[in-house]
Structure 1
């Protein structure tokens, strides 16, 4: 594979089209709303301490151990704030160690990616879009998590951007240059946005996030609690470069592999907000006979990684060859960051991953 391009942090041209200078420095209209890429500078990472025994049952202690392991790994390289119910604060602090700041905020579960606001930059400030979390289309009751977005914004004095859309942070993937990847199944869905068609949803996404190009992938409806978030399917690793999930060879075709096939066809014929043709790099899942985790909801996609300021955190599933291949691909695209494999079998067994459990707050400058 040829050398990967260096991620940039461009702005927008006078006509609203994001651009960047050849050296990667931002150009364009000052003050325009922009959805930063995850590889840009972070102020902190936000996580949540799972509280719901009704959801996790006897697996809750193992899930908490995974959350603590992940929090410690990220906190070794950038500030981490862990939201925990007041009555769980001491236990969370003991599990995660002194490098993790524990913030007493009522939460239900660990999915900070979906409950924390989606942050944008505008007018020299960071602002947060509250996407009205409703438990992934009311599939679960999340009374406390529904209030997390407002609480986080108030805690850090960040301006709240209102939108009529119901969505989750895991639904969105951006290159920081105005391009948005999103699965239609997770937002153009009556369990979140009844009566809205795709054009109406796209118009609201452009307004709320400041994006200028939306690339729609079909996704999968009704097969998992998220209705197939994009962050388990396709991820930007640089402007113009998308990693795409690929099933392990010989695995019988199913709704997920067909979703990846559909996404591949769309992405290979798509251009981004700058007019650039996308390069698609497929990243194969591990051998299902070699992974250490199990369960009907187990997510074995490497796509659910998190790009931190100094590290890239991706799951290690126990298939040594596949795990190493994923790490080597990440090294090509993030040569200045440490590649940190993390075992998350309990989290993955609940249908999520590292990206689902983390949420970055961007820093300006």
Structure 2
């Protein structure tokens, strides 16, 4: 594993990278986030690596939700986010980005173990607004995917600039992607295989005029991927257009957990999406030419869970792998919760499984993975 010493307001150094090439594929200025598909090239090396989530983290980055987005539910959702942050902070450093007017509240709710950094944000979905980190020859880089509110479905005047401002604050080189997308659209084994849904990237609301082949080519160059495996996904049924991180996730190279319907689930677009993903995985091979071991991770029974609402995300696949622990939602269906925790323990035997109640976060259509973003490297001493 490549090790980075990462500090805020400090230069980054890399060790153990070995000898990498220096091919470049053009450049783009550090301009404002785009609202459509950026044109032209982007400065990015082919010789780079997007690591797997189980690699060492320097820290986890999160963002503090605002009343502008959450209204009367803001206190409840902040309690969920603070609970997630405190739990992760027992295993690795956590940085919480909070708007100036909310810094004091975030510090009080999260406690002294969480570092609160003043930076204007709108919502809690750090997975999508914080840059995607890649390891390159000269150190860590942040790929800014030009967040545009999941295809302009919501106005996020601050979140559109989180990628740029975060990288400036931490003095990490910024790569402005020649695509619009979100971190929740990307799942990798750390060895050059990328899993994505077509609905969340090959979509006129993000990348008008780009076909799948062109999107794939750009992803490979930006992230150092050798193979992209595509799933249909689901268009226009949720705000993300069906991110991969609630459908299928790696637990090791060649091993994936697949979100499948729970007991009593209807035959709907989501169950059909799961079935389509299975059919793809059964035929696909990874960047090394090997097939996949597909393990079902069933959803809870919606009749047994605490949460409700049309947007409620009851997917255990939206777990987060931290240093020494795996953080998984628990929904109140004891049988399903225990089953999910057991499956994850089987796949991460050397990590503690930490269940967390996230009912308000889930009511907003997301989960623990959606609310967190891992930064690769070794934790600061």
Could you state the TM-score of these two structures normalised by the residue count of structure 2? 0.87
Rounded to whole Å, the distance in 1 between the matches of 2:138 and 2:354 is 32
Q: Tell me whether 1:344 sits opposite 2:358 in the alignment.
A: yes
Q: C-alpha root-mean-square deviation of aligned residues, in Å?
A: 1.5
Secondary structure (helix, strand or coil) at the match of 2:95 reads strand
Conservation of the 8 A alpha-carbon contact between 1:304 and 1:353:
yes
**1:249 Cα deviation from its structure 2 partner:** 3.0
Distance 1:359 1:274, change over 3 A: same
The within-5 A match list for 1:305-324 is 305-324=319-338
Secondary structure (helix, strand or coil) at the match of 2:326 reads strand
Distance 1:364 1:100, change over 3 A: closer
Secondary structure (helix, strand or coil) at the match of 1:315 reads strand
Question: What is aligned with 1:130?
Answer: 144
Rounded to whole Å, the distance in 2 between the matches of 1:84 and 1:176 is 30
Deviations 1:258-298 (A, max 9, x none): 00000000011100001110110011101111111111100
Q: Tell me whether 1:165 sits opposite 2:179 in the alignment.
A: yes
Q: Tell me whether 1:46 sits opposite 2:38 in the alignment.
A: no
Question: What is aligned with 2:125?
Answer: 111
Rounded to whole Å, the distance in 2 between the matches of 1:29 and 1:190 is 39
Deviations 1:37-66 (A, max 9, x none): 00000000000000143x322211111110
Rounded to whole Å, the distance in 2 between the matches of 1:121 and 1:52 is 36
Secondary structure (helix, strand or coil) at the match of 1:50 reads coil
The within-5 A match list for 1:29-178 is 30=20, 32-53=47-68, 55-178=69-192
Question: What is aligned with 1:5?
Answer: none
**1:30 Cα deviation from its structure 2 partner:** 3.8
Deviations 1:159-204 (A, max 9, x none): 1112210000000000000000000000000000000000000000
Rounded to whole Å, the distance in 1 between the matches of 2:307 and 2:178 is 38
Conservation of the 8 A alpha-carbon contact between 1:131 and 1:163:
yes
Task: Give 5+ residue unaligned stretches, structure 1.
Answer: 1-8, 11-25
Question: What is aligned with 2:315?
Answer: 301
Rounded to whole Å, the distance in 2 between the matches of 1:27 and 1:152 is 24
Conservation of the 8 A alpha-carbon contact between 1:48 and 1:83:
yes
Conservation of the 8 A alpha-carbon contact between 1:62 and 1:346:
yes
Rounded to whole Å, the distance in 2 between the matches of 1:250 and 1:58 is 32
Deviations 1:214-246 (A, max 9, x none): 000000000000000000000000000010000
Distance 1:181 1:29, change over 3 A: farther
Conservation of the 8 A alpha-carbon contact between 2:265 and 2:301:
no
Rounded to whole Å, the distance in 2 between the matches of 1:199 and 1:174 is 18
The within-5 A match list for 1:130-279 is 130-279=144-293
Secondary structure (helix, strand or coil) at the match of 2:302 reads coil
Task: Give 5+ residue unaligned stretches, structure 2.
Answer: 3-15, 22-46
Secondary structure (helix, strand or coil) at the match of 2:196 reads strand
**1:28 Cα deviation from its structure 2 partner:** 8.4
Instruction: Report how many aligned residue pairs link the two structures.
Output: 341
Question: What is aligned with 1:3?
Answer: none
Rounded to whole Å, the distance in 2 between the matches of 1:140 and 1:193 is 17
**1:364 Cα deviation from its structure 2 partner:** 6.2
Could you state the TM-score of these two structures normalised by the residue count of structure 1? 0.91
Rounded to whole Å, the distance in 1 between the matches of 2:346 and 2:175 is 36
Conservation of the 8 A alpha-carbon contact between 2:327 and 2:354:
yes
Distance 1:321 1:28, change over 3 A: farther
Conservation of the 8 A alpha-carbon contact between 1:188 and 1:201:
yes
Rounded to whole Å, the distance in 2 between the matches of 1:56 and 1:144 is 15
Rounded to whole Å, the distance in 1 between the matches of 2:133 and 2:67 is 26
Deviations 1:69-101 (A, max 9, x none): 001000111000000011111111100000000
Conservation of the 8 A alpha-carbon contact between 1:126 and 1:364:
no
